[in-house]
A = this chain, B = another copy of it.
Amino acid sequence: MGRVVTLGEVLLRLSPPNRNRLVDSRTLEVNYGGSEANVAVALSQYGVETALVTKLPEHELGDAAIHTLRGFGVDVSHVVRGGDRLGVYYLENGYSIRPSKVIYDRKHSSIAQARIDEFDLDEIFAGRDLFHVSGITLGISESSFQLAKACMEKAKETGLKVSFDFNYRSKLWSLEEATKKFEQVLEYVDIVFAGHLDFTNILGIKVDERFAKNDIQDYYENLYRKVHVRYPFTFIASSIRSVESASRNRYQGLIFDGKDIYASQAYTVDIVDRVGTGDAFTAGFIYSYLTKQDEQYKVEFATASAALKHTISGDTVAATPAEVERLFKTGEFRLQR
């Protein structure tokens, strides 16, 4: 099926149970996640052998993060232990007209302090087919940027495909900072995941005005073609989200293979947990890519993977390929017994 390696931070996620507010919560639910870790977990659920490269502190919470990832089948043998702390984020799940909220407490984390020489890149990349990283890892710290860049270089050298998700986080860094870093690594990228605002705000690529008010598919096609002129990515993939309420979104995926644009069916989903849906999209795409599905299958599987994630609590999609396929092939929700 192909073997994947990802690099990124694992965070402790703490969220109030049910629909409670943070300010009034006496218990918090524990999850361990992070963009690239979520991709690794989902790929592993889909049957792809996947390793995560990261650094975690040497205490029980670092252990717990490892237990969780390993439980989902992710190869954790390249996780380095040490450093000061595990990054934390507090998630308040919104509902209806009340939006979700995130408080980040991730500065000074072990991965932010990790150095390239702590990792044996030769061993890590040996026998792999694809390397995935997101913009978050580039923004965590200068040293994590250097680590990510070194991995992307090494991956290309070693003949891996490189997959990159923009994942711009305004609470992490400014658009200017992101632009500066992204421009240093986009040359290594084969598959890119980004939304139209990412291309416009970070790369300065704008859709021609005449498309701006046209239908969404035309709009994106024009955008993709312009991106492709500057960066000849093998695949560009985006998801389009329409936010009816904090607990009800409309969700659709698009991919562009340098020639044509493919759109998935759209889903209206009631949301249990919105976090990690983009990572489920990414994992769905990579899975279909590695299993050599056709383009329409790719965009359908990626989108159904993401749609399904909305209904699953936690950072990661816990689903089988059969469940994902059933969703986009039948659209049938009956209880079977």
Contact = CB atoms under 8 A, between A and B. Distances in A.
A164 B14 CA distance: 35
Count the copies: 6
Given A19-B272, A23-B63, A71-B70, A97 B28 contact: no
Chain B CB within 10 Å, residue with most, of A24, A108, A243: A24
Interface string A77-90: 00000001110101
A318 interface: yes
Contacts of A267: 97
Interface stretch (A98-106, A124-132, A218-226): A98-106
Given A96-B310, A267-B97, A27 B29 contact: yes
Given A23-B63, A27-B29, A170 B94 contact: no
A296 interface: no
A67 B332 contact: no
A245 interface: yes
A275 to B, nearest CB: 8
Given A23-B60, A70-B73, A272-B19, A335 B28 contact: no
A59 to B, nearest CB: 5
B336 A101 contact: yes
Interface string A11-25: 000100111111111
Contacts of A327: 97-98
Contacts of A60: 21-23, 90, 92, 101, 103
Given A61-B103, A243-B334, A311 B96 contact: yes
A96 B285 CA distance: 22
A234 interface: no
B26 A26 contact: yes
A257 interface: no
Interface string A157-191: 00000000000011100000000000000000000
Interface residues of A, number: 78
B14 A104 contact: no
A80 to B, nearest CB: 17
Residue of A84, A271, A272 with most chain B CB atoms under a 10 A cut-off: A272
Interface string A282-315: 0000000000000000000000000110111110
A337 interface: yes
Given A24-B318, A96-B271, 9 more contacts: A25-B64, A67-B72, A88-B88, A97-B269, A98-B312, A99-B326, A99-B333, A102-B335, A245-B333
27 contacts: A14-B14, A18-B18, A19-B272, A21-B318, A22-B61, A23-B60, A23-B318, A24-B313, A24-B318, A27-B27, A28-B30, A85-B105, A88-B105, A96-B271, A96-B311, A97-B269, A97-B310, A97-B311, A97-B333, A98-B312, A99-B334, A101-B335, A102-B337, A171-B337, A245-B270, A246-B335, A274-B335
